[in-house]
Amino acid sequence: MSGNETQAGEQAEEQVGAQPPGLFPVPPMAEQERMVEAILFASAEPVSTAELSRRLPEGCDAAEALAHLRSRYAGRGVTLLRVGDSWAMRTAPDLAWLMHSEQLEMRRLSRAAIETLAIIAYHQPVTRAEIEEIRGVAVSRGTIDQLMELEWIRLGRRRMTPGRPVTFVVTESFLDHFGLESARDLPGLRELREAGLLDSRALPGTGGPEDDDGMEPPEGQSELFED
């Protein structure tokens, strides 16, 4: 093999091993932050990291841009809030009272709906039969329908038990409405009592009155958004 052939072969190997450059350069992190900020600001619903990555130019790091953006908005009137696996721009919690005139007046939930929602949030995934066992009374179809119309609960996986009953779990809309990052941020019993939302009696299906906000989330609560 001649010297020219050897040199040509080495160049070909280098070209094969080299990664082809992107069509466009990756935007600097400051520009990636601006892009993420624009998407979240214009979106009425929380946007997942995967969706942000899909919409950003190739090579961008949505997760890093979110971290920088969250730090930059810390302590501001508008904050970057994590909602489950998604992100949203929301008014700072301590300034929510300024928005009262712009908020829609929600229809007051019935006691049955409040109790059913609380049981699902704290015991999910939970079946209708389990809800009825905890409450001690039957759950009407209208109560479940009302919570599903609000998009605060949804159907989970079927239980691998006789009859394969469906289960219920809370949704990201529920977390977003109450400003929660995950179901683990739900208030404990002590917090509910201090807020006047619960009397000193124990909730059905929980421990005694000595339970407090240090209690562990119920088993299965981490399966919040199972398919």
Of 47-51, 98-102, 194-198, the range with the lowest mean pLDDT is 194-198
pLDDT at position 32 is 92
Share of the chain above pLDDT 70, in %: 69
For 148, the enclosing helix (H) or strand (E) is helix 141-149
Of 35-39, 52-56, 148-152, 198-202, the range with the lowest mean pLDDT is 198-202
Same domain for 78 and 35? yes
* 189 confidence band (pLDDT: 50, 70, 90): low
Tell whether the model's pLDDT for residue 55 goes beyond 90.
Answer: yes
Q: Across residues 118-138, what is the average pLDDT?
A: 89
Range of the domain at 90: 28-95
Tell whether the model's pLDDT for residue 16 goes beyond 80.
Answer: no
Of 85-89, 109-113, 203-207, the range with the lowest mean pLDDT is 203-207
Residue 23 domain-assigned (yes or no): no
Give the span between the Cα atoms of 160 and 182, in whole angstroms. Answer: 26
Q: Across residues 114-135, what is the average pLDDT?
A: 89
Q: Across residues 59-85, what is the average pLDDT?
A: 90
Same domain for 193 and 123? yes
More confident residue, 55 or 18: 55
Distances from the Cα of 9 to the Cα of 1, 20, 102, 156, angstroms: 10, 19, 70, 59
Same domain for 222 and 112? yes
Pair type for strands 126-127 and 153-158: unpaired
Residue 203 domain-assigned (yes or no): yes
Residue 43 domain-assigned (yes or no): yes
Of 132-141, 181-190, 193-202, the range with the lowest mean pLDDT is 193-202
pTM above 0.75, yes or no: no
Question: Is the CB of residue 47 less than 8 Å from the CB of residue 63?
Answer: no
Same domain for 157 and 214? yes
Same domain for 210 and 148? yes
Same domain for 111 and 81? no
* 23 confidence band (pLDDT: 50, 70, 90): low
| Domains held by the chain: number | 2
Which residues pair with residue 155 across a beta bridge? 168
Same domain for 117 and 56? no
Same domain for 132 and 224? yes
| Boundary-marking domain end, from 41, 67, 95 | 95
Give the span between the Cα atoms of 125 and 222, in whole angstroms. Answer: 9
| Boundary-marking domain end, from 95, 130, 145 | 95
pLDDT at position 139 is 87
Same domain for 194 and 129? yes
